[in-house]
């Protein structure tokens, strides 16, 4: 378990630390996965269990090099987490519940090691086109084991035939149309074989961030199976909450205001009808 966490942390530190400028262009790549988020819409609400799981992923993995600087651990009480849950998360990060979710990685150390400071994640689901789908897509857009095996098998002899290029086009989400398309696939396979990080949802398909999450990167306290899609969905939901902690209160207030205006409009209309009844 510790090894898996260490691998996930190192991936985040190497990749997300200097991936921000490239992330900004990701919306131009392959269409992002369309997820259904329960907190979306006028009546959408955050799932407390999911936010708790996402906070666990953020605490055990993301805080290794990123901050969520506008959120204190104690703020999680507002979304339904218990005092014990909040204290446990803070303790995992070596902090107390009144502390902000700030990484222990010093900016000067980050610059020295990676050339830049890892971006803060507080507003990440608001800052990129695609919003939650963008973050989820980035976390899940790497080649899975089966896809990686197909690429490796096709490149076993160091040569990619036209037929193999067309087959790999579906795996890599790239076009194999014409000689130019097939050549791009050959170049992509060569870079993958060289250890470069391939993403289905990135323009140009390659960027700095190694895969930050993998199955069982954390052990969920509630026993939920920690698959890659589950981890990615949970931490994305948590980051969505972190970007707007008062969303539920805002929506509830909005519903009350709309109901008030409906009642007020009906009352004013009734008064108007009564006052002007003789004239009409």
Residues 17, 65: contact at Cβ < 8 Å? Answer: yes
CA 169 to chain centre: 26
**Which residues neighbour 182 within 8 Å (Cβ) at sequence distance 6 or greater?**
160, 162, 165, 166, 176
**Residue 68: strand pairing partners:** 101
Tokens of 51: 């936010």
Counted residue by residue, the chain has a size of: 280
CA–CA gap between residue 154 and residue 165 (Å, rounded)? 9
Residues 37, 237: contact at Cβ < 8 Å? Answer: yes
66 is in an annotated binding site: yes
209 is in an annotated binding site: yes
62 is in an annotated binding site: yes
H/E element, 20? helix 20-23
65 is in an annotated binding site: yes
CA–CA gap between residue 192 and residue 151 (Å, rounded)? 8
**Which residues neighbour 193 within 8 Å (Cβ) at sequence distance 6 or greater?**
151, 152, 155
Nearest-5° angle of CA 114, CA 117, CA 121? 125
Tokens of 139: 């976390």
- Binding site, annotated residues for heme c: 62, 65-66, 209
- Binding site, annotated residues: 62, 65-66, 209
């Amino acid at each position: 378990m510790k090894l898996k966490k260490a691998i996930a942390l190192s991936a985040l530190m190497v990749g997300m630390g200097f991936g921000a400028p490239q992330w900004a262009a990701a919306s131009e790549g392959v269409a992002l996965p369309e997820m259904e988020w329960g907190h979306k819409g006028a009546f959408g609400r955050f799932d407390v269990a999911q936010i708790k799981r996402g906070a666990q992923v953020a605490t055990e993995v993301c805080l290794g090099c990123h901050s969520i600087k506008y959120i204190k651990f104690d703020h999680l009480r507002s979304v339904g987490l218990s005092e014990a849950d909040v204290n446990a998360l803070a303790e995992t990060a070596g902090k107390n519940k009144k502390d902000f979710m700030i990484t222990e990685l010093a900016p000067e150390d980050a610059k020295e090691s990676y050339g830049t400071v890892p971006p803060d994640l507080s507003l990440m689901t608001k800052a990129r086109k695609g919003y939650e789908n963008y973050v989820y897509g980035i976390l899940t857009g790497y080649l899975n084991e089966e896809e990686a095996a197909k690429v490796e098998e096709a490149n076993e002899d160091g040569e990619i035939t036209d037929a193999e290029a067309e087959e790999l086009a579906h795996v890599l989400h790239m076009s194999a149309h014409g000689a130019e398309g097939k050549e791009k696939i050959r170049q992509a396979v060569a870079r993958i074989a060289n250890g470069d990080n391939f993403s289905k949802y990135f323009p140009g398909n390659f960027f700095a961030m190694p895969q930050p999450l993998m199955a069982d990167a954390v052990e969920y306290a509630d026993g939920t199976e920690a698959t890659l899609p589950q981890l990615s969905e949970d931490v994305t939901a948590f980051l969505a909450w972190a970007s707007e902690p008062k969303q539920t209160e805002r929506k509830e207030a909005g519903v009350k205001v709309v109901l008030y205006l409906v009642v007020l409009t009906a009352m004013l209309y009734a008064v108007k009808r009564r006052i002007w009844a003789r004239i009409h």
